[in-house]
Amino acid sequence: MLWMPSGPPAGQADVAAAPAPAPAMPPPAALPGQPGQPGQLARAQAKPDPEVDADPTPDLRNYVARGDNPSMAQVIERLHERGIHSGLGAFSPPGTSPPLVGLAVPEDFVLPKGYVRHHQATDDGQRIEAVLMFAPDFQLRDASNKPVGMPKDLVVPPELAPPGLPIRRIVVPPASTGR
């Protein structure tokens, strides 16, 4: 039964006799003076764009068009062209900074003061064994305490290697072919 022909049961108010609620404000799209077609904003609110969030920070999609498939070098170049040098823009494009090649340092070899292990990776993420370098603030001195000429890239040449270090150059792995 959809209604009670004799009225509401005792103790219940008559819903039909209650005043109708005041009309709600029209949706923003229906307000006068709004640009666009009526209902456009309401449809946008009903179907949010999954690629948009509340974060105002520019994202990679601000620099790469939908459907475009640039190389990482192209992405980094586009960021640098726009003056962005943070995030992905903090990196040099692949291939522009080749790995340093020098003497390999075994992990168990105790380095004397002034020498450091420099860990690297290839552009495709393969680890390269540590290369022997001088610490940036170190000055090597000879037996008479005179400064010895240091290489500009700080990579230790075999003739300046610490005593006991096995002399062997690192091997940079070839680029991987798979993804």
User: How many distinct structural domains can be found in the chain?
Assistant: 2
Q: How far apart are CA 160 and CA 139, in angstroms?
A: 12
If asked whether residues 106 and 165 sit together in one domain, one would say: yes
Listed residues 42, 72, 97: the one ending a domain: 97
Residue-level pLDDT at 32: 47
Task: Tell whether 71 is covered by a domain.
Answer: yes
If asked whether residues 121 and 78 sit together in one domain, one would say: no
Residue-level pLDDT at 30: 44
Q: How far apart are CA 179 and CA 175, in angstroms?
A: 11
> Max Cα separation, the chain?
118
Q: How far apart are CA 108 and CA 91, in angstroms?
A: 31
Task: Tell whether 162 is covered by a domain.
Answer: yes
Structural domain that includes position 119? 100-172
If asked whether residues 116 and 132 sit together in one domain, one would say: yes
Task: Tell whether 11 is covered by a domain.
Answer: no
Q: How far apart are CA 13 and CA 15, in angstroms?
A: 6
Task: Tell whether 166 is covered by a domain.
Answer: yes
If asked whether residues 122 and 105 sit together in one domain, one would say: yes
Residue-level pLDDT at 31: 44
The DSSP secondary structure of 80-147, one letter per residue, reads: HHTT--SGGGGSPPTTSSPPP--BB--TTPPPPTTEEEEEEE-TTS-EEEEEEEE-TT---B-TTSPB
Task: Tell whether 121 is covered by a domain.
Answer: yes
Q: How far apart are CA 151 and CA 141, in angstroms?
A: 13
If asked whether residues 92 and 105 sit together in one domain, one would say: no
Contacts of 139 (CB under 8 A, 6+ apart): 114, 147, 148, 150
If asked whether residues 93 and 113 sit together in one domain, one would say: no
Listed residues 70, 97, 124: the one ending a domain: 97
If asked whether residues 133 and 92 sit together in one domain, one would say: no
If asked whether residues 86 and 122 sit together in one domain, one would say: no
Of the candidates 61, 86, 64, the residue with the CA atom closest to the CA atom of residue 74: 64
If asked whether residues 85 and 149 sit together in one domain, one would say: no
Each of the 179 residues of the chain gets a pLDDT tens digit; together they read 455 555 555 555 555 555 555 555 545 444 444 455 555 555 545 555 655 667 677 777 777 788 888 888 888 888 889 898 888 888 888 878 889 999 999 999 999 999 999 999 988 889 999 999 999 999 999 999 999 999 999 999 999 999 999 999 999 998 877 55
If asked whether residues 107 and 92 sit together in one domain, one would say: no
Task: Tell whether 48 is covered by a domain.
Answer: no
If asked whether residues 122 and 166 sit together in one domain, one would say: yes
39: its two tokens: 């209902």
Task: Tell whether 17 is covered by a domain.
Answer: no
If asked whether residues 70 and 105 sit together in one domain, one would say: no
Q: How far apart are CA 163 and CA 108, in angstroms?
A: 15
Contacts of 97 (CB under 8 A, 6+ apart): none
